[in-house]
């Protein structure tokens, strides 16, 4: 299987605070790779570093076999990577339709915006119903769908989605996971950052656990032992070792 994204020994942080410590991971094309880990572990920082939103301080980011370390966010979007950020970040004072059209801003996909808008509305009928409403009036689940729809307007090959289930009711989480599963089925590659371990494991192909800016587990989702995963998640391995 081809590696779509390959990260080697990445270091990144904010000013003098380092967050990622020689972190290495790879993402196979057409697969759903899940990144789990406790709060403050560096999951969002990793996505930001991939997207050129946080400057790296060592290591490499390769995409489609090319070195893209510290490429601009713009260049990464043009290369077909969409980030669906933590907290959704929809434009609250703009309509649902205008939010979606913002996703079609990259020149390469502007001409196909009408078809892509239709594709997004087919996938999220509720967004179609609410297309003329302000995004600020959406429920949490609808806002998450809007953030995903906006990402899809960029025609991404690789989708980085950061904690989409945050604050959503279980039934809505299932809906969001179902959509990610479907996008993978359509041949897209997905990196899913989650804290909802059980639900994420059900759709993931491969799992990484990140803690303290390092990978502490890398395993096929099907063979993950939940007890061991939780021990590593809550650093109980360190307690046992004492």
Ligand X SMILES: Nc1ncnc2c1ncn2[C@@H]1O[C@H](COP(=O)(O)OP(=O)(O)OP(=O)(O)O)[C@@H](O)[C@H]1O
Q: Report the partner that residue 39 touches, choosing among Mg ion, ligand X, none (CB closer than 5 to 8 A by kind).
A: ligand X
- Contact call for residue 211 and ligand X (CB under 6 A): no
Q: Report the partner that residue 232 touches, choosing among ligand X, Mg ion, none (CB closer than 5 to 8 A by kind).
A: none
Residue from 33, 44, 69, 99 in contact with Mg ion (CB under 5 A): 44
**Crossing angle, helix 96-103 and helix 113-123, to 10 degrees?**
120
- Contact call for residue 45 and Mg ion (CB under 5 A): no
Residue window 13-52: x/- pattern of binding to ligand X, with contact defined by CB under 6 A = -x--x-x-----------------x-xxxxxxx-------
Cβ of residue 166: shortest distance to ligand X, in angstroms? 8
Q: Report the partner that residue 42 touches, choosing among ligand X, Mg ion, none (CB closer than 5 to 8 A by kind).
A: ligand X
Nearer Cβ to ligand X (46/104): 46
Residues engaged in binding ligand X (CB under 6 A): 14, 17, 19, 37, 39-45, 86
């Amino acid at each position: 299987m081809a590696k779509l994204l390959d990260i080697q020994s990445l270091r990144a942080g904010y000013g003098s605070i380092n967050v990622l410590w020689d972190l290495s991971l790879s993402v196979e094309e057409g697969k759903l790779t899940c990144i789990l880990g406790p709060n403050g572990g560096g999951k969002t920082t990793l996505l930001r570093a991939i997207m050129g939103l946080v400057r790296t301080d060592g290591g490499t980011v390769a995409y489609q076999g090319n070195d893209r370390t510290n490429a601009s966010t713009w260049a990464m979007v043009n290369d077909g990577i969409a980030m669906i950020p933590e907290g959704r970040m929809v434009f609250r004072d703009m309509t649902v339709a205008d939010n979606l059209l913002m996703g079609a801003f990259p020149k390469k996909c502007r001409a196909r915006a009408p078809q892509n808008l239709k594709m997004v509305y087919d996938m999220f009928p509720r967004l179609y119903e609410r297309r003329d409403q302000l995004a600020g009036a959406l429920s949490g689940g609808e806002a998450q769908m809007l953030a995903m729809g906006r990402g899809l307007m960029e025609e991404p090959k690789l989708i980085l989605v950061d904690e989409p289930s945050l604050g959503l009711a279980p039934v809505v989480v299932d809906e969001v996971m179902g959509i990610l599963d479907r996008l993978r089925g359509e041949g897209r590659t997905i990196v899913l950052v989650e804290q909802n371990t059980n639900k994420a494991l059900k759709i993931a192909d491969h799992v990484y656990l990140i803690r303290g800016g390092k990978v502490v587990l890398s395993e096929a989702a099907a063979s993950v032992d939940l007890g061991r995963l939780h021990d590593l998640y809550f650093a109980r391995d360190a307690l046992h070792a004492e």
